[in-house]
Amino acid sequence: MRWDLFCKVIDNHGDLGVCWRLAAQLAARGETVRLWVDDGAALQWMAPAGSENVEVIDWAQPAAVAAALHAPAPDVLVEAFGCDPDTGLIAQFAREARTGDAPRVWLNLEYLSAEPYVERLHTLPSPVFKGPGEGLTKYFFYPGFTTATGGLLREPDLRQQQADFDRAAWLAVQGVDRHPDELLVLLFCYEPMALAGLLAQWTDGASRVRLLVTAGRASAAVHAALGTTAGTPCTERGMLSVQHLPLLAQRDFDRLLWSCDLNFVRGEDSLVRALWAGRPFVWQIYAQDDDAHHVKLNAWLDAIDAPASLRRFHHAWNGIDNMSVEPPGPDVLASWSAAVQAAQGALHNQDDLVTQLLQFVQERRVLHRN
């Protein structure tokens, strides 16, 4: 089938990261995908090799839209996270859906959440009463953590990839010369208020910590907290070693998560990848002005049956309360790891997002023909 996937970039690492993984995984299963994006610059480092059967189109270019209007409409149109595709493309899709022989499916891929409403709304139809798509039906598709949702993005061979992975060799290629007794920590975050305190505790602690800091906001936040100059690649402070990383392709970011003893992640895409890594991790959720992210965070902690220590750390890291963060020791990390691996095992037993998308689309197409 031919898919049009529309993505409006708000956070290069988040919305575009999810959409690229979706497009690439659909293509890997034989689908043909046009990824329409308003700013695809991050794909130069996120997915430098591209993907066969995935065409990236800048929807801000009138010529690209005009060319698409002279080609057949897609079999499946996906609006990622409620973005608004070009009205001419919607009108073309609607016209061919009404008059063409091939059935067409219109989906709205929603944000990931563990909140109860996701199960209620997943796959619900939404009749379109006005605009260029008038008369058609759009379906909501919700990723999630239960069998009553659309599942999570996951490669079919992910477990085999991890079984074949050589952690030490990969770290050496990345220039990470790890001391045998160091705790290896990944930091991919926004600007958490608790960061400076955590860095100070690691500096003055009794155990070695090597902090691998991702490029961008996380790197800037660490430089600000330590008072170091932006662009300084490495810093030694007491028991803390800080190493700033370059921008990493998705494949390498995944392997970085597999390599570290503790992962700090942010946003939707890295949350899912941290779960698949099976290592203890802390999630910084995207903050909302009305504090709705507090409910979303707690729902996710409930979903993985997080131990009390992991809940407290998340609340402090996300600024929900004024508690300071305490660096987790070996016993605490072991309890976090057990919770993550139990959640990971349950999720591996569920169908992944692409499998469920393909099944749902096929069911809609059969119903249309009948």
Dig out the tokens for 347 from the structure.
Answer: 């999720």
Region of 53 (left: φ > 0; alpha: ψ -120 to 50; beta: rest) is: left
- In sequence order, which residues have a C-beta less than 8 Å from that of residue 321 and are 6 or more positions away? 315
Cβ of 303: how many Cβ atoms within 10 Å?
Answer: 17
Contact 363, 141 (CB under 8 A): no
Catalytic residues: 15, 268
Tell which residue, 128, 35, 44, has the closest CA to residue 85: 35
Q: Token pair for residue 26?
A: 């659909």
CB 352 within 8 A of CB 318: no
The answer to whether 337 and 329 have CB atoms below 8 angstroms apart is no
Q: How far apart are CA 158 and CA 163, in angstroms?
A: 9
